[in-house]
Amino acid sequence: MSIKTVRFDEGRDNGANAPSAGGVRLHAFVIAGTHSGVGKTTVTLGLLAALRKRGLAVQPFKVGPNFIDPGHHTTVTGVPSRNLDGWMLSQEYNQDTFRHNIQRHDVGVIEGVMGLFDGYDGKSEAGSTAEMAKWLGLPVILVVDASAMARRTAALIHGFQSFDPNLNVTGVIFNRIGGPGHLQYLCGALEGRPDIVVLGGLSHTADITIPERHLGLVTPEEHRLGAENIGRLATFIEDKVDLDRLLRTTQFTQPPTPVSPSSTANRERRRDKRVRFGIARDEVFCFYYPENLELLERAGAALVFFSPLHDVHLPPDLQGIHLGGGYPAVHAAQLSSNVTMRQEIKAFIEDGKTVCAECGGFMYLTRGTRTTQGKYFPMVDIYPTVVRMLSRRSALGYTEVEIAATEMDFPPLRLRGHEFHYSESEQDIARDTIKTIYQVRQRPTDPPRSEGYVYKRCLASYAHLHFGSNPEFVERLVSGT
């Protein structure tokens, strides 16, 4: 289904662009950074909290293959945050996701990824925040780490504004300023630049900092932003950012015609009886794209959530299981001590039932996990290897997966996803008893790497796949149960 790109200036409040009959006036903008670590997530969470405090219905989005930041978005707004990704997903899919989910909301807030122009590689804008802002036709609010900066901020912002004339960098929020006097210097550097709006300046405040670990922020399952924290975030942004001006400069008109999800994501398999599909979800297994779970449902699955960490037994009458990613090594002792759950999952797999496991889920299905201190914890023992945790990152980046084999009833398919982990397998498990059905590449010119380990009807991999890149994958997964 073809979607017209919504230009933000269609809704500028100048009289000439009043909403058409039945149109709805909305606000939407992209929060981008000059580089990673400038405070995009803190600014985004604060804006979400402040806008919600005003009584506005806010729909959050996150650019890129990130699970943790969207979880915090959801905690603040009470609305599932949606991932947008220009490399894993098509332009149409992203536009449909935005248009469908912005309905019945007042404001759309899109948190960017890395620096504004950073993406899949250094030669193109694929996967970047800039690409997504242009696809959606939305203005960019640039977060600038202004610590130890004064007039050179003008040169920096000028570079970001002029680099791509098709991109609208319309506002700036200065982060980590030294105080009101410092903010005056920064605003003075931009005098005579009516094309850039200074929306505010934020000083460092430890009270609103979210803890981090090696894979990014601590997950919402482990560090829940309570009402008091969210209130502090809202007050902080209200005091430091001109929200009225932000809303005035980010208006657009939503067409009156309802927009449904992309036809590529909306094919629903008709079944007389739905398949009971267990979804592992707790502090360990928490990395899921909402669209992946929805696509499972559209393929005929009835989702049944359970916790390998806390539950003693599997839910009854499951026909399939999905073990998502997360932090099994952080909770290795508790996972290992839940012997009954480990035994039931192993028996489920040995009985020929369908299981799909990604990253942390794959680690859980191995013989065991060895921590960086060398301590060993037994796991489910389906795959004949031990996963060793590392002090360095072993994989980071987008991956394209090609399924060429016919194991588990899959036809040849191509999907996209990403890898991000600090562990490695101690043994090569692609032997006689363990088949591989994935050919994985990070770049088209890379030699393919065999992955996607199949044992009976259990498929496990380090790759986090976005099912929206090829919904047929999940349809075949559910139909094979």
Q: State the helix-helix crossing angle for 180-189 and 152-162, rounded to 10 degrees.
A: 50
Specify the range with the lowest mean pLDDT, choosing from 119-123, 262-266, 306-310, 470-474: 262-266
Confidence band (pLDDT; 50, 70, 90) for 309? very high
Q: What is the pLDDT of residue 269?
A: 53
Between CA 287 and CA 219 the distance in angstroms is: 9
Interstrand relation of 383-389 and 24-33 (parallel, antiparallel or unpaired): unpaired
Interstrand relation of 354-358 and 458-461 (parallel, antiparallel or unpaired): parallel
DSSP structure string for 254-294: E-SS--PPPTTT------SS-EEEEEE-SSSEEE--HHHHH
Round the CA-based radius of gyration of the chain to a whole number and report it: 23
Residues 123, 401, 421: CA angle, nearest 5 degrees: 80
Whether residue 262 has pLDDT greater than 80? no
Catalytic residue among 187, 286, 356, 359: 359
The pTM assigned to this predicted structure is 0.88
Question: Which residue, 200, 11, 174, 15, is CA-closest to 106?
Answer: 11
Q: Kindly list the distances between the CA atom of residue 158 and the CA atoms of 108, 166, 189, 353, 360, in Å, as whole numbers in the listed order.
A: 26, 14, 11, 58, 43
Whether residue 21 has pLDDT greater than 50? no
Between CA 443 and CA 295 the distance in angstroms is: 27
Q: What is the pLDDT of residue 307?
A: 98
Q: What is the pLDDT of residue 215?
A: 47
Q: Sign of torsion, CA 59 60 61 65?
A: negative
Question: Which residue, 461, 477, 144, 89, is CA-closest to 291?
Answer: 89
Residue 327 or residue 380, greater confidence:
380
State phi, psi for 374 to the nearest 5 degrees: 90, 5
Between CA 283 and CA 155 the distance in angstroms is: 44
State phi, psi for 363 to the nearest 5 degrees: -60, -40
Q: Kindly list the distances between the CA atom of residue 341 and the CA atoms of 167, 315, 326, 355, 455, in Å, as whole numbers in the listed order.
A: 52, 10, 18, 15, 19
Between CA 276 and CA 273 the distance in angstroms is: 9
Residue 294 near residue 80 (C-beta atoms within 8 A): no
Whether residue 276 has pLDDT greater than 80? yes
Q: Is 359 a catalytic residue?
A: yes
Compute the mean pLDDT over every residue in the chain, rounded to the nearest whole number: 88
Between CA 460 and CA 361 the distance in angstroms is: 7
Interstrand relation of 58-63 and 82-84 (parallel, antiparallel or unpaired): parallel
Between CA 235 and CA 470 the distance in angstroms is: 42
Q: Is residue 148 left, alpha or beta, with left meaning phi > 0 and alpha meaning psi from -120 to 50? A: left
Residue 46 or residue 428, greater confidence:
46
Confidence band (pLDDT; 50, 70, 90) for 357? very high
Amino acid code (one letter) for 206:
A
Q: Average of pLDDT values for 398-408?
A: 89
Whether residue 428 has pLDDT greater than 90? no
Confidence band (pLDDT; 50, 70, 90) for 431? low
Whether residue 277 has pLDDT greater than 80? yes
Residue 23 or residue 163, greater confidence:
163
Query: Where is mean pLDDT largest: 2-16, 46-60, 207-221, 243-257?
Result: 46-60
Amino acid code (one letter) for 328:
P
Confidence band (pLDDT; 50, 70, 90) for 319? very high
